[in-house]
Amino acid sequence: MKYLSEFRDPDLARSLLERIKKAVTQPWVIMEICGGQTHSIMRHGIDQMLPKDITLVHGPGCPVCVTPLETIDRALAIAAREKVIFTSFGDMLRVPGSHDDLFRVKSRGGDVRMVYSPLEALNIARANPDHEVVFLAVGFETTAPGNAMALKQAVAEGLTNFSEIVSHVLVPPAMEAILSSPQNRVQGFLAAGHVCAITGWEEYEPIAEKYGVPIVPTGFESVDILDGILKTIELLEDGRPAVANQYLRAVRKQGNPAAQAVVDEVYEVCDKKWRGIGTIPMSGMRIRDELAAFDAERKFDVTGITTKEPAVCIAGEILQGLKKPDECPAFGKECTPMNPLGATMVSSEGACAAYHKYTRKGLL
């Protein structure tokens, strides 16, 4: 299959691994931004094949993981109301709030439905004009265009019974928050290729220059990851803080202007709280004021709900690359995929879920 099988070629992977080994002369810490990249690294055992001088740490690249606890609690409050049909992607239904999750609301009679697209939620709104249909829109820049288009379509059709809870976050401000922390240990980034397919990689150039780090937009197959690591190591060894695009088959410097335009039409940039990390200035999106009638948090008046993170969960340190999942005292014990304490365990892209699934449990 073109653009898939060749990026899983074992001979090419071995060749890249040998080139990495020859290129490394000192220790380096590299963060992969996306949870999909984390799972690929764990699934293929890439972290175990790399030279010992290369440390991979796992960034905040799982939108489910960084959705703040208060957003989940607000969603729960709305979903429990009568004549509300609450919709979202599958992972979000299992993410624990302070005391509950959406599946438990469903088990008590709430009309909670998993959808595969925001357009499916629109269809539900069309078919149920006597119900309020709410879609929990989460994601990085990757899913924002589709979610924005759904809301734009609702406006065009006058579907006033459709609204969104928006928990979209932006990658570059998170990278800057990590790099500016006194505790930072990240020296280079594998940027999320699908995010860059929307935004392009031009906005990463000032970050690379300001903080003196290489940034490499990277795909998700084993050869992609190894090639991205090689490019990052080569830039680090040469002392060149630059952007090098590994994901040439999907990413252009300017990204996707049409997708960017629809996002800007519906959403605006705002300060955003990230689960486990805290508020990062100008790092998220919200529905524009002129479309407030389609903003579920304002429509149902739940903006006053605030929460605190469970003290035992170290997801914030994991998302910042300060610790790895198996360093958490609750990992694989109090916190498992069947009984997750935090979203990094419940999400299919979460770092904790990846470590648990691919046996990085400290038990071998």
Q: What is the pLDDT of residue 128?
A: 98
Q: What is the pLDDT of residue 277?
A: 80
Assess whether 213 and 331 both reside in one domain. no
Residues 6+ apart with CB under 8 A from 240: 214
Q: Provide the terminal-to-terminal Cα distance of the chain, rounded to the nearest Å.
A: 36
b vs e for 264-275, b when ≥16 Cβ sit within 10 Å of the residue's Cβ?
eebbebeebbbb
φ, ψ of residue 303 to 5 degrees: the values are -65, -20
φ, ψ of residue 238 to 5 degrees: the values are -85, -5
Assess whether 213 and 351 both reside in one domain. no
User: Rounded to an integer, what distance in angstroms lies between the CA atom of residue 175 and that of residue 64?
Assistant: 17
Assess whether 225 and 275 both reside in one domain. yes
Does a structural domain hold residue 287?
yes
Assess whether 109 and 220 both reside in one domain. yes
Assess whether 7 and 154 both reside in one domain. yes
Residue 161 has pLDDT above 70, yes or no: yes
pLDDT band at 360 (very low <50, low <70, confident <90, very high): low
Give the containing element (helix H, strand E) for 284. Answer: strand 278-287
User: Rounded to an integer, what distance in angstroms lies between the CA atom of residue 135 and that of residue 143?
Assistant: 13
Cβ atoms of 66 and 277 within 8 Å: the answer is yes
Q: What is the pLDDT of residue 337?
A: 84
Assess whether 259 and 345 both reside in one domain. no
Does a structural domain hold residue 216?
yes
Assess whether 117 and 175 both reside in one domain. yes
Q: Assign residue 35 the CATH number of its domain.
A: 3.40.50.11740
Per-residue pLDDT tens for 307-342?
776 677 888 888 888 888 889 988 988 888 888 877
Per-residue pLDDT tens for 101-151?
899 999 999 999 999 999 999 999 999 999 999 999 999 999 999 999 999
Residue with tokens 């990277």: 218
Domain that holds residue 341: 315-355
The amino acid occupying position 317 is: E
- Give the three-state DSSP class for 222: helix
- What size, in residues, is the chain? 364
Q: What is the value of pTM for the model shown?
A: 0.90
The rounded percent of the chain whose pLDDT value lies above 90 is 71
Does a structural domain hold residue 106?
yes
Does a structural domain hold residue 362?
no
Cβ atoms of 281 and 271 within 8 Å: the answer is yes
CA-atom Rg of the chain in angstroms: 21
Which of 147, 176, 164, 148 is closest to 282 using CA atoms?
Answer: 176
Query: Considering its fold, how many domains does the chain have in total?
Result: 2
Cβ atoms of 65 and 275 within 8 Å: the answer is yes
Assess whether 131 and 274 both reside in one domain. yes
Q: What is the pLDDT of residue 215?
A: 98
Does a structural domain hold residue 268?
yes
Assess whether 300 and 332 both reside in one domain. no
The amino acid occupying position 44 is: H
Q: Which two tokens stand for residue 358?
A: 């691919």
Q: Which pairing describes strands 278-287 and 267-274: parallel, antiparallel, or unpaired?
A: antiparallel
Assess whether 319 and 299 both reside in one domain. no
Cβ atoms of 232 and 188 within 8 Å: the answer is yes
Does a structural domain hold residue 364?
no
Assess whether 254 and 343 both reside in one domain. no
Per-residue pLDDT tens for 275-306?
878 899 999 999 999 999 999 999 999 988 77
Q: What is the pLDDT of residue 304?
A: 82
Does a structural domain hold residue 121?
yes
Assess whether 194 and 332 both reside in one domain. no
Give the containing element (helix H, strand E) for 207. Answer: helix 205-211
Does a structural domain hold residue 309?
no
Q: What is the pLDDT of residue 3?
A: 65
Q: How far is CA 285 from CA 101, 142, 148, 177, in A?
A: 24, 13, 11, 17
Q: What is the pLDDT of residue 79?
A: 97
Give all strands of the β-sheet with 215-218 in edge-to-edge order.
54-61, 28-34, 188-192, 215-218
The mean pLDDT value of the chain amounts to 92
Residue with tokens 């590299």: 30
Longest Cα–Cα distance in the chain: 66
